[in-house]
Structure 1
Amino acid sequence: MARTDNKLPFETTLMVRDCCLCLHMQRAARNLARIFDEALRPFELTNGQFSLLMSLNRPQPPAMKDVSSLLAMDRTTLTAALKPLERRGLVVIGQDPEDKRSRLLNLTPEGRKLLARAFPVWQETHAEIERPFDPGAVDQLRQHLRALS
């Protein structure tokens, strides 16, 4: 139904507020980010930095494109996110010997130690967040979120 006065009724605003998946996802994501940022503050990490370090915790150093894909970041954003971790000596960015154009991302021993110290705090925080949910509900939520991503 087209409107000629270019105004939406307030009821439309309320309907969008109540049913917009994007809005609810953004609100939940911001809240979760704040919770994890606070929990990881003693390690001088943000939740995004923790996730980035965790994505590098692999038997072989991943290529930047693989990490970028996993974290749903463009390469420019990933490069910017890596800089403070590199300055802290937690990550080393090196050239792929098999493809000189590609970069490999490596956790340093210091990065591995910090990640190992931060992980129990992440785990405890995660358990606290999941506690109020019914059994299986969080797994179902994860499944739905993966479907959207």
Structure 2
Amino acid sequence: MDKKTYEKKPSPCNCLNMRRASHAITEVYDDFLKPSNLSVSQFSIIKHLNYFGPINVSDLSLIMRLDRTTLVRNLKPLEKIGLVEDISAEGTRNRQLKLTSKGIETYKDAEELWQKAQRFLEEYLGKENILTFTTLLSKIEALVP
């Protein structure tokens, strides 16, 4: 069996299959978002900040269903390049994050690229399969309270 055929066969392990699929989808979105210089993880953060900001880190991590330390680690580069800023009063422990004007502009440009990725996957998988897939993912996520 050649290497290429072997690599594409599903594993008997459901977890491994999910991880492979997650990696593939992430790569698709990252490729579409490349002109924005954002990864899909970074785009997701600025998309949430655009919608919910200003917001504190704890609330943002709850809304995004991300571990707080993972979110903080992913926020640092966005703050460093001037897309996100902390507007909390000096000396306050509870950071209030919002998009800068550069962050809003970057978000608007990246949103178009993200929409292209969405359409690509919908065309590739089919609308009905996307709905089924989303339902299954929600059910899987509900395994962990």
TM-score normalized by the length of structure 2:
0.80
* Unmatched 5+ stretches in structure 1: 1-15
User: In structure 1, what is the Cα distance between the partners aligned to 2:106 and 2:69?
Assistant: 25
User: In structure 2, what is the Cα distance between the partners aligned to 1:31 and 1:56?
Assistant: 26
1:69 maps onto 2:62 in alignment: yes
Q: 1:126 to 1:134 in 2, by over 3 A?
A: closer
Q: 1:86 to 1:70 in 2, by over 3 A?
A: same
* Unmatched 5+ stretches in structure 2: 1-9
1:38 maps onto 2:24 in alignment: no
Q: 1:90 to 1:136 in 2, by over 3 A?
A: same
Question: How far apart are residue 60 of structure 1 and its match?
Answer: 4.1
User: For residue 6 of structure 2, what is the aligned residue in structure 1?
Assistant: none
User: For residue 144 of structure 1, what is the aligned residue in structure 2?
Assistant: 136
Question: How far apart are residue 102 of structure 1 and its match?
Answer: 2.1
Q: 1:50 to 1:60 in 2, by over 3 A?
A: closer
Higher helix share: 2
* Partners of 2:32 and 2:116 within 8 A in 1: no
Bigger RCO of structures 1 and 2 (CA < 8 A, at least 6 apart): 2
Correspondences of 1:1-149 after superposition (within 5 Å): 17-18=11-12, 20-58=13-51, 60-95=53-88, 100-149=92-141
Report the structure number with the largest CA radius of gyration: 1
User: In structure 1, what is the Cα distance between the partners aligned to 2:89 and 2:14?
Assistant: 40
- 3-state SS of the aligned residue for 1:118? helix
- 3-state SS of the aligned residue for 1:122? helix
Paired letter, 1:116: K
User: In structure 2, what is the Cα distance between the partners aligned to 1:51 and 1:68?
Assistant: 12
TM-score normalized by the length of structure 1:
0.78
Identity of aligned residues (%): 32
Total equivalences in the alignment: 131
